[in-house]
Structure 1
Amino acid sequence: MFRTGFRSDDFSAARLGALGLAAVLVLGGCSGSGDDPGAEAAEGSNSAAPSGSAAATESPSASPTPTPTPTAAAYKPASAEGPAENVPLPVMPDLAKQESKEGLEAFAEYWYALVNYGYETGDPEPVRAVSADTCFNCLSYYRVLDSGYAESDWMMGAKLHLQDVSSNYVETDEGAFQATTLILQDDLHYYGPAGYIGTDPGNSTPAVQLMEAVFTSSGWYVVTLETLEM
């Protein structure tokens, strides 16, 4: 089960001021090099050249300065001091783009990675981009992020640990395919500029969720998600 509850307005009193977070990308400096000297040819003269004279030799070229490789700012997890920084956006694996049993299972893993990304950043858009409005658990998830990151608050934890993903890959009457997942979830802690706000307990006992997804011209798309009774 991923966290779908959200805080009451009782927490709003702990929100003070605004605290912005900047994700900094450090780029290397520009490369620089001097002008390469051109080859110098000996100029002939109308007078007779002295015996044994030779053309001037070509000057060696200056070694070019290597271009520094851009360095991404380091990832920093959330803590009581502040929200996570420089969280990498999960990349969809090629297998998850395939219309197959293995493709659906890989997509489900990718989808839950996007959920974890949202918990760390407060950004629901990656999940929203591959989920329909008919996914009511998704809508509740968006509300959690809206509440947890309102007015410079942030969240820590709530990470989902995917234990298993499987699909029998049988099409439903609605044209969707189902995948079941077995997941654990860490406790979810709320913080704000004034300090600690509260905690929602996670799930230390594995929970089973049923995902239904359809394959479109843009790839897999979640239409429903529900938690099953164990």
Structure 2
Amino acid sequence: MTRTIARRVASLFGAGVLLCGLVACSQAAGDPGGGSPSPAPPSVSASATPTPTPTPSATYEPASADGPAENVPVPVMPEEAKLESKEGLEAFARYWYEAANYGYETGDVSLVKAISGPECVACLKYYEVVENGFIDDDWMAGAKIDIQDAYSEYVLTPEGRYQALAQLQQDGIEYYGPEGLQEAEEADFQPIVQLFEATWTNGQWLTAAIITIKQ
């Protein structure tokens, strides 16, 4: 399959969501007590207390040449990332990259879309890369972003945005299909620094722009 793939640097800035299995607990039902054969109302013994039987969650399997990732844990936004503060912005920036990692593994970019504004060009490129990587029976492997640091001076820009600097590295990306490896992009072994811009809109952070300033 021929695919147009954006440069990896552009992809960095990258519906049911739950892939982890949610296992229902079984319950042990008690036997009803025996009653007298006479017409009098039977005596009833207490039922056994239902006891949940814990079942191990499905095991996470990263993507490989053998197939796409399975049972990928869904990242949860930390409470700190929901605060309009310096620490909140830094936590939000970290969470954005975790959500992007989830998309790379599953092809599901809904987590990133929910926290990104329509003006974020880098986000649009990220959606394109991921969606192209999961066309039909294709899948992606690698691409994991390691967020090493996120720091903000928490100063409002004239455009009404707050900025943070994110230092990160990303694994190489491999594109697979039923016929095998289709394309591979090497990892950058030097850390990348990106300018992460976000706005506080309707009580939540929204990503407005992500710009690579050091590569």
Give your verdict on TM over 0.5. yes
1:189 counterpart = 2:174: yes
CA contact (8 A) 1:25 1:72 kept: yes
Mapping of residues 1-230 of structure 1, within 5 Å: 3-4=9-10, 25-36=22-33, 61=46, 63-69=48-54, 71-229=56-214
User: Would the alpha carbon gap of residues 37 and 212 (structure 1) be closer, same or farther in structure 2, given more than 3 Å must change?
Assistant: same
Q: What is the Cα-based RMSD across aligned positions, in Å?
A: 2.5
Which is worse superposed, 189-198 or 28-37? Answer: 28-37
Q: Deviations over 1:199-221 (max 9, x none)?
A: 01221101110011111224111
Structure 1 segments unaligned to the other structure (5+ residues): 6-21, 44-57
User: Would the alpha carbon gap of residues 101 and 32 (structure 1) be closer, same or farther in structure 2, given more than 3 Å must change?
Assistant: same
Once residues 27 and 51 of structure 2 are traced to their aligned partners in structure 1, the CA distance between those partners, rounded to angstroms, is 9
Length, aligned pairs only: 197
CA contact (8 A) 1:2 1:160 kept: no
CA contact (8 A) 2:29 2:47 kept: no
Once residues 125 and 26 of structure 2 are traced to their aligned partners in structure 1, the CA distance between those partners, rounded to angstroms, is 45
Structure 2 segments unaligned to the other structure (5+ residues): 1-6, 12-18
2:84 partner letter: E
Percentage of identical aligned residues: 43
Tell me the CA shift for residue 197 of structure 1: 1.2
User: Would the alpha carbon gap of residues 2 and 171 (structure 1) be closer, same or farther in structure 2, given more than 3 Å must change?
Assistant: farther
TM-score, normalised relative to structure 2:
0.82
Greater relative contact order structure (CA < 8 Å, 6+ sep)? 1
CA contact (8 A) 1:135 1:223 kept: yes
CA contact (8 A) 1:2 1:185 kept: no
Once residues 187 and 99 of structure 2 are traced to their aligned partners in structure 1, the CA distance between those partners, rounded to angstroms, is 18
User: Would the alpha carbon gap of residues 194 and 85 (structure 1) be closer, same or farther in structure 2, given more than 3 Å must change?
Assistant: same
User: Would the alpha carbon gap of residues 28 and 60 (structure 1) be closer, same or farther in structure 2, given more than 3 Å must change?
Assistant: closer
Once residues 124 and 221 of structure 1 are traced to their aligned partners in structure 2, the CA distance between those partners, rounded to angstroms, is 15
User: Would the alpha carbon gap of residues 188 and 147 (structure 1) be closer, same or farther in structure 2, given more than 3 Å must change?
Assistant: same
Tell me the CA shift for residue 4 of structure 1: 2.9
1:72 partner letter: S
